[in-house]
Amino acid sequence: MIAPFFLLAIALFILVWLGITDKAMRVLAERAGHPYHARGPRLARITVGVIIVLIAGYMLAPREWSEPPPPMVATYGPDSLWMGMDTTLIDRIGGEREDLVAYGRELIRNTAYYLGPQGTVAHLTNGMNCQNCHLEAGTKPWGNNYSAVWSTYPKFRERSGGNETVVKRINDCIERSLNGTALDSSSLEMRSLLAYMEWLGTGIPKGKKPKGVGLAELLFMDRPADPVHGEAIYTAKCERCHQKDGAGQKAADATTYLYPPLWGEHSYNIGAGLYRLGRFAGYVKNNMPQGASWEAPQLTDEEAWDVAAFVNSQQRPMRDLSSDWPRIAAKPVDHPFGPYADAFTEEQHKFGPFGPIAALNKK
Ligand code: HEC
Ligand code: HEC
């Protein structure tokens, strides 16, 4: 931007200088009694004026007129952490795809506004936003991000015992984490969510998972997670936002939450990923209390496990899980509902210690 400013300044200077010399020539010519020919100087001034307009126009024109759009590449390398895509690139996508990606991102951030109990599009979900659990619109390292969705689906999942598309996986979260009703696969909303996930997966090769994907897996403790210790942590570190009754706190406009609920009728149901202790502890460790991150966690692993045990011991919506995990030997160690292929109790599958179960599964 320095060069055009410099040129503009020179052009303005020349214009002023032409004006002054023109006036001086005219005065001199009149004093000497000669006729003064103003055409030449006027032409020069018009030329310089046009140049000034061109330079100013160049400086004011939108940048993409003069610069080619940046290539659509992901901002991660194989060894660096995936930090999401540059959202200013969304404006450069163009056409229908740009609208879909932008709306998909908006739906992740403000799900309740469109699909919640008072949703403007439909009433399908419990009032939470996808972003409450998939932080920063699904782009935060170890903040349950979507980096590997496009590169790893469709894939076989043991929970359903079948091949799952992205549509199925999204509806899983709608039916479980948002305790709601599935979105039609041809709806504008579903197509937009898919477009956003695809865009987020730009540059990630098929089958690959970037570093920082999803949630961290914490090391198992040697003891069961302790809900009584967890309650003390909850009171000290969570209650001021999520409230004593776990119901969270509504935002001023009442359509969405300032602090989402952790249990009770408006929370995720017993079939949700967070209902498994390992997923909850992994989420909380790197993301809660609000402001925590993988670089600056605020809880020890033990605190994360114990607060998970407390929160997931409270009342929440039920769900029929009888057709989940059709191959019972494939149940994760922390799936808290039998029957199991091993002899450990539901209690141990819920609170741990998980080490012995994992060791047996390995054999
Ligand atoms: C209450 C928390 C919560 C909410 C709200 C939530 N999710 Fe999830 N979601 C999870 C958890 C936890 C997982 C990971 C489960 C696992 O790893 O087993 C997950 C996984 C996913 C995945 C698969 C990610 C992968 O890499 O395999 C997709 C896609 C997804 N969610 C989409 C959504 C969408 C879209 C919404 C909103 C309509 C949403 N989720 C709302 C908790 C939530
Ligand atoms: C300063 C306020 C604050 C504190 C303290 C806090 N949270 Fe949160 N929590 C939030 C907000 C805000 C979100 C939603 C994040 C978003 O939408 O970006 C959230 C989301 C969550 C979620 C996922 C969404 C849901 O409702 O299920 C869980 C689980 C959670 N917090 C657990 C905890 C635990 C456990 C603690 C204590 C160790 C804690 N939080 C402390 C503000 C807070």
The number of CA neighbours under 13 Å toward the Cβ of 338 is 10
pLDDT digits (tens, 9 = 90+) for 112-163: 999 999 999 999 999 999 999 999 999 999 999 999 999 999 999 999 999 9
Mean pLDDT of 72-100: 82
pLDDT for 67 beyond 80? no
- Among 173, 198, 208, 267, the mutation site with the greatest number of ligand 1 atoms within 8 A of its Cβ is 173
How far, in Å, from the CA of 38 to the mean position of ligand 1? 76
Q: Are 25 and 121 in the same domain?
A: no
pLDDT for 58 beyond 90? no
Which residue's alpha carbon is nearest to atom 16 within ligand 1? 273
User: In this structure, how many other beta carbons lie within 10 angstroms of the beta carbon of residue 38?
Assistant: 11
Give residue 319's pLDDT.
97
Q: Are 237 and 346 in the same domain?
A: yes
How far, in Å, from the CA of 82 to the mean position of ligand 2? 22
pLDDT digits (tens, 9 = 90+) for 288-297: 999 999 999 9
Contacts of 218 (CB under 8 A, 6+ apart): 278, 281, 282, 285, 301, 304, 305
The number of CA neighbours under 13 Å toward the Cβ of 350 is 16
Q: Is the residue at 209 inside a domain?
A: no
Residues in the chain: 363
pLDDT digits (tens, 9 = 90+) for 305-355: 999 999 999 999 999 999 999 999 999 999 999 999 999 999 999 999 999
Question: To which H or E segment does residue 142 belong?
Answer: none
Give residue 80's pLDDT.
80
Q: Is the residue at 213 inside a domain?
A: no
| Position with higher pLDDT, 169 vs 80 | 169
Give residue 138's pLDDT.
97
Q: Are 195 and 109 in the same domain?
A: yes
Q: Is the residue at 42 inside a domain?
A: yes
Number of domains in the chain: 3
pLDDT for 66 beyond 90? no
Q: Are 266 and 152 in the same domain?
A: no
Give residue 62's pLDDT.
79
Give residue 16's pLDDT.
93
pLDDT digits (tens, 9 = 90+) for 173-217: 999 999 999 999 999 999 999 999 999 999 899 999 999 999 999
- Backbone conformation region of residue 328, classed left if phi is above 0, alpha if psi is from -120 to 50, else beta: alpha
Q: Are 172 and 276 in the same domain?
A: no
Q: Are 98 and 29 in the same domain?
A: no
Ligand 1 pocket residues where CB is under 6 Å? 111, 128, 130, 132-134, 144, 146, 148-149, 169-170, 173-174, 177-178, 193, 214-215, 268, 272-274, 279
pTM: 0.84
Distance CA 138, CA 154 (A): 19
pLDDT digits (tens, 9 = 90+) for 227-259: 999 999 999 999 999 999 999 999 988 888 999
Q: Which atom of ligand 2 is nearest to the CA of 177?
A: 27
Ligand 2 pocket residues where CB is under 6 Å? 129, 131-133, 135, 237-238, 240-242, 259-262, 268, 274, 283-284, 288-290, 299, 307, 311
CATH of residue 291's domain is: 1.10.760.10
Domain residues for the domain of 187 are 87-200
Rg from Cα positions in the chain = 31
How far, in Å, from the CA of 58 to the mean position of ligand 2? 48
Helices (H), the chain: 2-32, 39-60, 63-66, 95-109, 111-115, 130-133, 135-138, 149-152, 166-175, 188-200, 227-237, 239-242, 277-287, 301-311, 346-351, 355-362
